[in-house]
């Protein structure tokens, strides 16, 4: 039986953030190995509509997709089908086309061959040199001058944006997990939506987690919210295509808070939930261990696109595992050392604290990402209130 807590302090944090206009709406959920012990929400599914958000509302979880896709790759490693140390191009030959962007001569990109071949592990740990436009100005400029789109519109040409560093030389958050999804598909001989359904969401009973929502679920989805000229939240609609040219392992899934907490609980429990095992204990332990091998995680990643994201201020004491951001020290009043976490661009966030024995996540669908005094502050306030209630 899961624990019981007084959630009134958390309720107050959520309601206050909506009342203050920090977020258009919010849902938060927390669980332990035995089940969910907190769920709360505040605000409308879409601004101006009567329906309120709940743990059953569909959100685009964006980069919270990454750990799900990474899990399917780790399953292939466990089965002996995938070698993390093999070059990516062994599985997807077209990856060999990708070059390193050294700079620009006027508006002409200056490209060269990478000094070494990127491995599958480089994709899992964001050390391949691939980047995202919103945290790397050179990639933003490259996409602008060449007409190569970013990954959001769903055009497969986006995968062939260049690296901005040689593989294995630095941590650079980027389209790595989109390429990892291509590797998983090549190994499985089928598409990523099928792989995830058969190996993660199906076994875990996550029937509301999928790339393309069916008609019945579309009406349950929150639109993306942005600020209008008057500063008030307004709906910006869907933002991403429902049927892209490929299923993006980096950002493509829809889920509900109640569904995704099942995935978190499986990781919290060492890879198993309700008799379904998705990973071995030792694989989960590796995911929650430093996998950067001495490559430092940046303490700050400056925004290159303020409309999309604020700068990420992590500070010292963080590293990366398999698909997870890891804090190497206890956060006072909050998560313990070696918790695993990540977030989604539309302001969703999860963490799994194996020492305390809890996992939790918080959802809104709004831009910009991690705005310093809005969504980012709310994440911290929720976490503090949750641990105070334990």
User: Which residues are catalytic, by number?
Assistant: 63, 66, 173
Burial 93-103 (b: 16+ CB within 10 A, else e): eebeebbbbee
- The rounded distance, in Å, linking the Cα atoms of 128 and 179 is 10
**Is residue 287 within 8 Å of residue 74, measured between CB atoms?**
yes
Q: DSSP class of residue 198?
A: I
- The rounded distance, in Å, linking the Cα atoms of 348 and 42 is 15
Helices (H) and strands (E) in the chain, counts: 10, 17
Q: Which two tokens stand for residue 137?
A: 């100005």
Helix (H) or strand (E) holding 4: none
Burial of 163 (0-12, 13-18, 19+ CB in 10 A): buried
213-222: Cβ within 8 A, 24+ apart: 213/58, 213/242, 213/254, 217/58, 217/254, 220/45, 220/56, 220/57, 220/58, 221/57, 221/58, 221/59, 221/60, 221/254, 222/25, 222/45, 222/46, 222/53, 222/57, 222/58, 222/59, 222/365
- What is the distance of C-alpha 173 from the center of its chain? 11
**Whole-angstrom distance between the N-terminal and C-terminal Cα of the chain?**
15
Instruction: Tell me the β-bridge partners of 349.
Output: 343, 362
- What is the distance of C-alpha 210 from the center of its chain? 14
């Amino acid at each position: 039986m899961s624990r019981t807590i007084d959630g009134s302090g958390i309720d107050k944090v959520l309601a206050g953030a909506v009342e203050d206009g920090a977020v258009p709406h919010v849902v938060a959920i927390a669980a332990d190995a035995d089940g969910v012990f907190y769920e709360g929400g505040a605000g409308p599914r879409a601004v101006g509509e009567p329906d309120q958000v709940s743990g059953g509302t569909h959100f685009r979880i964006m980069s919270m997709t990454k750990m799900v896709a990474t899990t399917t790759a780790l399953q292939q490693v466990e089965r002996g089908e995938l070698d993390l140390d093999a070059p990516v191009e062994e599985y997807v030959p077209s990856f060999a086309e990708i070059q390193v962007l050294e700079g620009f001569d006027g508006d002409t990109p200056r490209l060269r061959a990478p000094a070494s071949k990127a491995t599958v592990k480089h994709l899992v740990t964001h050390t391949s040199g691939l980047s995202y436009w919103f945290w790397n100005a050179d990639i933003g400029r490259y996409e602008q001058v060449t007409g190569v789109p970013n990954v959001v519109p769903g055009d497969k040409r986006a995968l062939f944006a260049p690296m901005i560093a040689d593989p294995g030389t630095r941590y650079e958050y980027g389209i790595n997990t989109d390429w990892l999804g291509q590797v998983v598909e090549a190994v499985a001989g089928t598409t990523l939506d099928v792989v995830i359904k058969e190996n993660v969401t199906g076994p875990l009973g996550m029937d509301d987690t999928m790339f393309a929502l069916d008609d019945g679920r579309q009406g349950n989805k929150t639109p993306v919210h942005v600020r209008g000229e008057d500063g008030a939240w307004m709906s910006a609609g869907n933002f991403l295509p429902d049927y892209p040219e490929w299923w993006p392992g980096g950002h493509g899934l829809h889920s509900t808070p109640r569904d995704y907490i099942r995935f978190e609980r499986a990781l919290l429990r060492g890879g198993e939930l309700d008799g379904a095992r998705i990973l071995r204990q030792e694989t989960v332990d590796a995911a929650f261990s430093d996998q950067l091998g001495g490559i430092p995680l940046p303490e700050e990643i400056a925004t290159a696109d303020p409309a999309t994201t604020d700068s990420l201020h992590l500070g010292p004491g963080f590293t990366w595992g398999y698909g997870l951001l890891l804090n190497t020290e206890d956060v006072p009043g909050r998560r313990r050392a070696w918790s695993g976490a990540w977030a989604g661009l539309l302001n969703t966030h999860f963490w799994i604290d194996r020492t305390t024995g809890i996992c939790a996540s918080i959802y809104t669908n709004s831009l910009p990402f991690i705005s310093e005094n809005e969504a980012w502050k709310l994440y911290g306030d929720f976490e503090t209130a949750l641990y105070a209630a334990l």
